[in-house]
Amino acid sequence: MSSIITRRGLLTGAVVGGAGLLAGCDKVANDPSLRKILFSGEKMNMGLQRALMNRDALAPEFRPDQMSPIFRTNGTRNPNTPDYNAMLADRFGDWRLQVGGLVTRPLSLSLAQIRTIPARTQITRHDCVEGWSAIGKWHGPMLGTILKAAGLRSDARYIVFTCADLFGGTNYYESIDLIDAFHPQTILAWAMNNAVLDVGHGAPLRLRVERQLGYKHAKYVMRIDAVASLAGIGKGKGGYWEDNVDYDWYAGI
Amino acid sequence: MDDAPLSPEAEAAHPPARVIYRHRLATRLWHWVNAVAIFILLGSGLMIFNAHPHLYWGIYGANYDHAWLTLPQWPGWLTIPANYNLAIARRWHLLFALVFAFGLLLFMTASLINRHFQRDLRVRGAELKPRNLRHDLLEHIALRFHDPKDPRAFNIFQKLSYVLVIFLLIPLMILTGLTMSPAMNAAWPWLLDLFGGRQSARSIHFIVAAALTGFTVVHLALVIIAGSWNEVRSMITGRWTVPEDEA
C-alpha cells in the first residue's frame, strides 16, 4: 500500500501542495467573484454579533488604576496642515463642529458650547486593528445628544465624520450606523485622562465607538453628516481605510 | 477495555475481510473542512501577528508596556497573503473562523448523536492505570498503534490527544479569538474574566495555535508512519485496512 505513495513523495507533495495552496489563497483574494465570498465574512460576523448583543450592551469600563501608564498615539499624530496649525495656535477658538446632512436643524458648535453639553466619562479599552490595546479615560458629550439636537430626518441611516487630518491629500473620514451612533458610550471626547485632548490623540474632538476597533474612532473631527447611504462618500465603502485598503467597515471583531 | 464487546457490524466485518468501516461521515467531513480551515487560519493568523509581533499579559498592552514575547516577522511564504496586508489577512481569518467554530459545533452535535464520542473517545478508568499506560506507550514506540483484538479502538494516547484537541484546544482557540473582539466583550463580558483580559486572551490564542500546529505535525508524521495511503483513504471513504502485521 505505502509503495503507491512513498513517504518522501508524500512529504514533497505536502510541501509543494502547501505552497501551492498559499499562492492559491492570493489568487482567490484577487478574483472579483471569489473576493466577494471572502468579504462576506464581514456581514456574517456583524449579523451574528448584533444578534448576540443588546443594542445598548456596554463595552467593559475599567477602574482608574487599570489605565495604561502611557497611551500610545497612532495613525495621524499631528495633522500639521496650515489650517490645523492656525486653529491650534488659536486654541480652537474659531473652530466649529459642523453638523449637517439629513438633519432638520444643521448646527455649528464651538468648543465652548460643546463643553457645556452634559458629558459622559468612561475608562475604556482602545483596541487597534493591529492587535495592541490601551486603556484610557475619555470625557465628552454623547453623539446621540448632538444628533437629537440637530434632528435626524427619517431617511438618515449612517453618520459620517470628516476630519482635519489628510491621507494622500484627502481628509480622513469614517462612518457608523445609527445603532452605534446612539449607543450610550459613543461620545465626542474633548478630554482624555483628565486633561484637554492633545494633538496626538485627536484635538479638539475625537469620536469614541467603544464596541469597534481603533480606526473607527475618528480623530480631529470637523464635520458630522447624516446620510441615507454610504455610496456618495469617498469610494463608497464608508471610510478611508475601507476604501483604500479593504478594511472591514464593521470593525466589531 | 479488554472486555468491551465489539459492535456486531465490526465483529461481522472482522474475520473474513481485513477492511473495516472506521470513520463515520461526520468525522470525515469535519476532518477535511477543518484541515482547510486550520491551514488558512494559521497562515492568515501569522500575517495578523506580523502587524504587532508582541505579546502581553493582562487587560492592556502596547508598545510602551512590557511584552513577554517579541518575535521577528514571519516570512511571506508562511503567511496569507504572502505580502504584508492586514486587511486581507483579517478577511481570511474572520471568514474561516466562522467555518472553524460552526464546524466544531456541528461535528460535536453529530458525534453525540452517532455516538462517536461515547464509543471511540470515552476514556475508561482502567486505561489510565500505569500498567496500561506503560503497555500502550511501549506499543506506540514500537509503532504498533492498534490492538489486534480490537483494531478499530483508539489507544489511550490517541484518545487523550483527540480529547485534548476537540474539547480543550479548539474551544480555547475559538473563545480566546472571541475575547479579542470589542463587540463580543460587550455581548459576553465573562470572556474577559475567563482569560484575564484581552491581551492575555491574545497570548493564549497564540500559544494554543502553536500547540495545534504541534499536534498537526505529529498527526501528519504518524499518518505517514502508520501507512499514509491507508490512513488517507480511510479518512475519505471511511474504510480502513487492518495492518497485516497487527492482524
Taking an 8 Å cut-off on Cβ atoms, the answer to whether B183 and A211 are in contact is yes
* Cβ–Cβ gap B63/A128 under 8 Å: no
Name chain A contacts of B224, Cβ cutoff 8 Å: 7, 10-11
Residues B82, A22: C-beta atoms closer than 8 Å = yes
Residues of B in contact with A70 (CB under 8 A): 62, 64-65
Nearest residue on chain A to B92, judged by CA atoms?
A38
Please name the fold of domain B8-246.
Answer: Fumarate Reductase Cytochrome B subunit (1.20.950)
Q: Nearest by CB to A68, from B65, B183, B229: name it.
A: B65
**3-state class of B204 per DSSP?**
helix
Q: What is the pLDDT of residue B144?
A: 85
Contact B87 A247 (CB under 8 A): yes
CA pseudo-torsion sign B240, B241, B243, B247: positive
Encode pLDDT of B64-88 as tens digits: 999 999 999 999 999 999 999 999 9
Residue environment code for B92-121, b if the CB has 16+ CB neighbours within 10 A, otherwise e: bbbbbbebbbebbeebbebbeeeebbeebb
Q: Do A132 and B52 touch (CB under 8 A)?
A: yes
Q: Which residues of B touch A248 (CB under 8 A)?
A: 87, 90-91, 94
In this prediction, residue B17 carries a pLDDT of 53
pLDDT range class, residue B7, cuts 50, 70, 90 = low
Chain A residues with CB inside 8 Å of B69's CB?
none
Element (H, E) at A123: strand A119-127
pLDDT digits (tens, 9 = 90+) for B89-126: 999 999 999 999 999 999 999 999 999 999 999 999 99
CA distances B21 to A202, B7, B118, Å, are: 64, 12, 17
Q: Is A34 on the interface with B (CB under 8 A)?
A: no
Chain B positions touching A183 (Cβ under 8 A) are none
A225 beta partners: A100, A160
Which domains, ranges and CATH numbers included, belong to chain A? Answer: 7-49 (no CATH), 59-245 (3.90.420.10)
pLDDT at B247: 43
Q: What is the pLDDT of residue A3?
A: 44
Give the model confidence (pLDDT) of A166-177 as tens digits.
998 999 999 999
Domain boundaries, chain B: 8-246
- Write down the ipTM of this complex: 0.92
Long-range contacts of B232-239, Cβ-Cβ distance < 8 Å, separation of 24 or more: B232/A5, B234/B22, B234/B23, B235/B23, B235/B28, B235/B31, B235/B32, B236/B28, B238/B21, B238/B22, B238/B23, B238/B24, B238/B25, B238/B28, B239/B19, B239/B20, B239/B21, B239/B22
**pLDDT band, very low/low/confident/very high, at B1 (cuts 50, 70, 90):** very low
Give pTM, 2 decimals.
0.92
Distance CA B30, CA B127 (A): 27
Q: List, as ranges, residues 153-192 from A with C-beta within 8 Å of B.
A: none
Over residues B156-180, the pLDDT tens digits come to 999 999 999 999 999 999 999 999 9
* Closest of B62, B42, B226 to residue A125, by C-alpha: B62
Q: Which amino acid is at B145?
A: F
- C-alpha to C-alpha distance for A207 and A251, rounded to whole angstroms: 14
What is chain B's mean pLDDT, rounded? 91
Per-residue pLDDT of chain A (253 residues; tens, 9 = 90+): 444 556 666 667 666 777 777 778 888 888 888 999 999 999 999 999 999 999 999 999 999 999 999 999 999 999 999 999 999 999 999 999 999 999 999 999 999 999 999 999 999 999 999 999 999 999 999 999 999 999 999 999 999 999 999 998 999 999 999 999 999 999 999 999 999 999 999 999 999 999 999 999 999 999 999 999 999 999 999 999 999 999 999 999 9
pLDDT of res. A119: 98
Q: What pLDDT digit, counting tens, does each position of A40-92 carry?
A: 999 999 999 999 999 999 999 999 999 999 999 999 999 999 999 999 999 99
CB contacts under 8 A, A 101-140 vs B, are: 125, 127-135
* Subunit contact B227:A130, Cβ cutoff 8 A: no
Sign (positive/negative) of CA torsion A213, A216, A219, A224? negative
Q: Is A222 helix (H, G, I), strand (E, B) or coil?
A: strand
Cell numbers standing for residue A42: 464581514
Task: For residue A185, give the nearest of A130, A253, A229, A137 by alpha carbon.
Answer: A137
User: Which chain B positions have a beta carbon within 8 Å of A25's beta carbon?
Assistant: 40, 43, 80-81, 92
- Chain B residues close to A31, C-beta within 8 Å: none
User: Are residues A22 and B43, on separate chains, in Cβ contact within 8 Å?
Assistant: yes
